Amino acid sequence: MQLFDSLTNQKREFIPLEPGKVKMYSCGPTVYNYFHLGNARPFVVFDLLRRYLEYRGYKVTFVQNFTDIDDKMIRRANEEGVTLRELADKYIAEYFKDADGLGIKRATIQPRATESIDAIIEQVGKLVAGGHAYVSTDGVYFSTRSFPDYGKLSHFHLDELEAGASERVNTGENKHDPADFAVWKFKKPGEPAWPSPWGEGRPGWHIECSSMINRYLGPTIDIHSGGKDLIFPHHENEIAQSECATGKQLAHYWLHNGFINVNNEKMSKSLGNFFTVRDVVKHFPYDVIRFFLLTGHYRSPINFSDELLQAAQTGLTRLRNCYSAVQFKLKSKVESAESADKAAAAVAESVRKSIDTARTAFIAAMDDDLNTPDALAAIFSWVREVNTLITSSPSAADCQAVLDFFDELGDVLGLRWQCEEAIPTEILALVEARTQAKKAKNFTLADELRKQITEAGYTLMDTPQGPRIEKQHA
């Protein structure tokens, strides 16, 4: 399996620190609002990575944090007239509603930053003791000059970074170099604060993730992931403070996803061109949004538009139609002596080969740095083959094998193929009776049976693969 490592800027064979086990950390949401589609992309693609690693037999310990203390949180809590805890509780609950809808598995551990204040203070203490951080008038700052490798992830030299940082220095910050950053901010009026050896205050953003990684996963992990916008300064600063505090490499692989663009600009709250998942789901179901996010390679930018979401919905429907057709074939199957003849054996062999070929192609694509476009292409190619095979009277075992492979793929992709409601047995019986009536050229009876099916609240469609039945929705 090859993964593109942002640190080395190349694909590398994935070799875990411990055979059969993977320790993985991904930056989670700042819980002051609903998350937008740009935020959703890393949540979905690194959920996919976690699922695929598990599919390949690894035991994954996955930590994703909640940032529940920072400037945005404080401003929003003041605007809403609530405590920081109340704000976090509200939007963590809302996060899970959207994440569950998107098929994102719960992380092994999902800590809040405020639950790790003791670990943060301990790590800041190590940095100060090691000469990597210093106490100033408004907080404790990390000295970027103390870490010779600073800039190795973003591939910039410190002098270049400092030139840019000098233009962004916040008024009132008292630090030695423009590129230095706060690991502990002293208390200001109206802000939450915790006691520390350097004075009451709160953690800087970057130290939160470093401390939670060390606390829950140890000093070195296999994979650290997040959006490309986090490479600098967030992940660069994580590396610096973590490796100075522990003396060990923070992560062996750094994975970063590309942006979602709107009119060729990155979707972001700061640009005001964002759409929350909660807004989009009013027009497209969660699973369509997830499928849309999987259609592009995770490192490439993808454009957002209603047309592309509609295309994703059409694609997902094609896959589900195939699943439903096979499922219907299985439910209405009446085994006979014909199942043992040579023709049936040939169909069974074709089904087996189609699944083996599709699985091999799917794994090859996913092993190539999670190449979901190629993986989905392999699935669609297989579905075209299945649509032909199910016209050849496959056995119940053949149908079940197809459904099992569909479910195998769904577990990896985080997608459901099953209709929300199972079709009742009596409706299936009517469909089968209509099929037999058509074969007997009793079209009057066939029309009457279709009418009964429609009146019962179901839509019957005749397709080249056989009849397809769906629940009518108001």
109-135, pLDDT tens digit by residue?
999 999 999 999 999 999 999 999 999
Mean pLDDT of the chain: 92
Q: Is the model's pLDDT at 426 over the cut of 90? A: no
- Between 181 and 344, where is the model more confident? 181
Annotated binding site for Zn(2+): 27, 209, 234, 238
Least confidently predicted of 139-148, 285-294, 390-399: 390-399
Q: Is the model's pLDDT at 474 over the cut of 80? A: no
Q: Can you list the pairs that 267-275 forms with residues at least 24 positions away whose Cβ atoms lie under 8 Å?
A: 267/36, 267/37, 267/38, 267/304, 268/38, 268/229, 269/33, 269/36, 274/36, 274/37, 274/38, 275/36, 275/37, 275/304
Identity at 343, one-letter amino acid code: A
Contact criterion met (CB below 8 Å) for 405 and 358: yes
pLDDT at 349: 95
pLDDT at 429: 81
Q: Is the model's pLDDT at 261 over the cut of 80? A: yes
The mean pLDDT of 338-360, rounded to a whole number, is 87
State percent of the chain over pLDDT 70.
94
pLDDT at 163: 58
Cβ-based neighbours of 358, under 8 Å, separated by 6 or more:
378, 379, 381, 382, 405
Q: Among 121, 114, 127, 5, which residue's Cα sits nearest to residue 65?
A: 114
For residues 81, 87, 89, 94, the Cα torsion angle rounded to the nearest 10 degrees is 120
Identity at 98, one-letter amino acid code: D
Least confidently predicted of 25-29, 66-70, 441-445: 441-445
pTM of the predicted structure, to 2 decimals:
0.89
Least confidently predicted of 204-218, 334-348, 376-390: 334-348
Q: Is the model's pLDDT at 86 over the cut of 60? A: yes
Least confidently predicted of 42-51, 338-347, 357-366, 457-466: 338-347
What is the tens place of the pLDDT at every residue in 237-260? 999 999 999 999 999 999 999 999
pLDDT at 169: 45
What is the tens place of the pLDDT at every residue in 147-181? 999 999 999 988 876 655 544 445 456 899 999 99
CA atoms within 13 A on the CB side of 127: 34
What is the tens place of the pLDDT at every residue in 57-77? 999 999 999 999 999 999 999
pLDDT at 199: 97
Least confidently predicted of 31-45, 143-157, 164-178, 372-386: 164-178
248: exposed, middle or buried (Cβ count in 10 Å: 0-12, 13-18, 19+): exposed
pLDDT at 112: 98
- Between 423 and 218, where is the model more confident? 218
Annotated binding site for ATP: 269
pLDDT at 338: 47
Annotated binding site: 27, 209, 234, 238, 269
